[in-house]
Structure 1
């Protein structure tokens, strides 16, 4: 098994004596690499058909290792210090470092092998061959690209919370249900709820279809009730019925497309709005989120504009650090009426003076397409809110969710058949 232990290594944990047996004794925490960076690396590898090499090394070596990388020509990304880039004589190498796990890829297999040998001569490295299991993500090479899923992680999650034999449900959330802070009886011990919700957050790494619901249940961590626990367990029931779903990274045009929307005062508890966002690099989703805005506002235009532009600017900086320059500005699809009105009116008036700086910040970095998004692409009823069961399959296809068993593997009898053009037409189509 790719997920089995190969080396036992000690780890120093500050105040580890606070952990309790059979509760959180086996849990450890480290700074994690940003998920969009991992998705960008996987997307580029699928696009260029690059090999992905995984290395394992001892801990407590970060400073020495990074110094060595800088000495041999690598430089660290400005916005993600876990990403190291080497550009020399037409050779591009990308090294992603997470504690003691390393992903190495690039446009030259010879350079990758040479770098692995060089690092092995200076450090105690173990070559784990092609990337299969990284940060609890399972990576399968298919004839159409890279399929990334968390089947094992979700299976372990169901077992941990005694939900292996539960009845599955077609959707993770009932869209007509509005959770209140005071609904239900307060749990005597909120620890299991917090543990469950925390574990579900990591499942959103490859499951954008549960992003909204997980964000929703995270808002009751301070005082969860029995009703909140039922909603959280419903997510597990949905994951059981869709355990084979994951993200398919496949070749496509290298341009950024973003979809955003925000409701207005949608939370009945504090009347704050929720913003939904999904960004694609070509056909591949590289980041998605559902986030409640920090303040109550009469209009979501200001918060929606600035948060989206900042996210896109961060991704463009990562691509710039990697030596990839987009031929055109990112495209934002938005159905916010006030945002479209501002985009089409170049004259500012006094009532919007407070957002003039943010407005120019956005206009300089992105291209805003005027007009509403077609109904099939409205994230107002997808990522930002729950959706009805009949439309949830549409969401899965829009976000490139595919079933594990339906993808032909490289070298298999079905490798001559490629279903992606049928299941995944050029995106978007309007």
Structure 2
């Protein structure tokens, strides 16, 4: 599966050069994979051999439910594209590039969803014809929705947002009629006698937090709050539930917010910071970074450091090291 920063970089690259981004969808993608391993299965209901009831079937093609299916599908598609003179990127194996003279084509694979762009519409149509001949594939036109993320075109570029997904999370939490707040976390915490009591519905807490992690793909403004709440998924307390409700109220008021990807320069720059010993329980530090291509954010992260820093300088250097690796990978 393609990494989300790769998807954002590809969109910005296409915007910068005024390329059209084609969106493809493969029908029954896993069934295209040819198994390279010996796998047997019981005779399926309705297709039993009455003469040999104890025999088993040897699979030639991948089926849904096999752990080998995603790998075999990717191998089938990537091998076909490499025979077409595409090359697999060493940084992200879901990105394949084609270079011939002045022609440049880029294809990005996320299971059965594919993005295709390049500087030659003639070569793109040849490739589309080739793919349609070998796979059951639909051309969905230009980029509009990808992996549940809406792409809204503007005069300066594209805005990626997840408004329907955010509405669904708020409805599951039962907060459709809640009042909005201006910040995702409170500036001052008010404690009560029941503040440290266990939350009465931890499964719902975990479900919502898991959904919010996917929402951070287009909402870097809630990344820190989600990171804080994720640390209490095992035993959430009522104070954590109150913090979650505040975050949902903030999302409710900013439900149309997304990230703008602009038709801008391709200058890569990043910002990084660390909060030394901010965790009162174990005195661990928190690192955070955000990287931009031009004016467009392409990758961000908030993470608790794995080791205890003995000074603010050490915490800053650890954060800088994590940011340096991300920058090198993006380049």
Alignment TM-score, normalising by the size of structure 2 = 0.82
The answer (yes or no) to whether the contact 2:25–2:137 under 8 Å persists in 1 is yes
Q: Which has the higher strand share?
A: 2
CA distance in 1, matches of 2:195, 2:263: 47
Cα offset for 1:188?
4.1
1:274 paired residue number: 286
Q: Based on CA coordinates, which of the two structures has the bigger radius of gyration?
A: 2
1:93 aligns with 2:62: no
CA distance in 1, matches of 2:269, 2:243: 32
Bigger shift: residues 300-309 or 288-297: 300-309
| Structure 1: 4+ residue segments shifted above 4 A | none
1:49 paired residue number: 18
CA distance in 2, matches of 1:130, 1:191: 39
CA distance in 1, matches of 2:170, 2:102: 47
CA distance in 2, matches of 1:178, 1:211: 23
Bigger shift: residues 109-118 or 50-59: 109-118
- Superposed CA RMSD in Å reads 1.7
The 3-state SS of whatever aligns with 1:110 is helix
The 3-state SS of whatever aligns with 1:78 is coil
Q: 5+ unaligned residues in a row in structure 2: which ranges?
A: 31-72
The answer (yes or no) to whether the contact 2:272–2:320 under 8 Å persists in 1 is no
2:320 paired residue number: 305
The 3-state SS of whatever aligns with 1:220 is coil
CA deviation string 1:85-119 (max 9, x = no partner): 11111111111111111111112222222211111
CA distance in 1, matches of 2:287, 2:245: 24
The answer (yes or no) to whether the contact 2:273–2:316 under 8 Å persists in 1 is no
Cα offset for 1:178?
10
The 3-state SS of whatever aligns with 1:286 is strand
Match of 1:251 among 240, 253, 263: 263
- The number of equivalent residue pairs is 283
CA deviation string 1:28-78 (max 9, x = no partner): xxxx42111111111112222211111111221322111101110111111
The answer (yes or no) to whether the contact 2:292–2:299 under 8 Å persists in 1 is yes
Q: 5+ unaligned residues in a row in structure 1: which ranges?
A: 1-31, 317-430
1:113 paired residue number: 125
The answer (yes or no) to whether the contact 1:178–1:268 under 8 Å persists in 2 is no
Cα offset for 1:175?
3.4
CA distance in 2, matches of 1:161, 1:108: 47
CA distance in 1, matches of 2:17, 2:190: 45
CA deviation string 1:345-400 (max 9, x = no partner): xxxxxxxxxxxxxxxxxxxxxxxxxxxxxxxxxxxxxxxxxxxxxxxxxxxxxxxx
- The equivalences for 1:360-375 within 5 A come to none
2:143 paired residue number: 131
Alignment TM-score, normalising by the size of structure 1 = 0.63
CA distance in 1, matches of 2:174, 2:234: 24
Cα offset for 1:79?
2.0
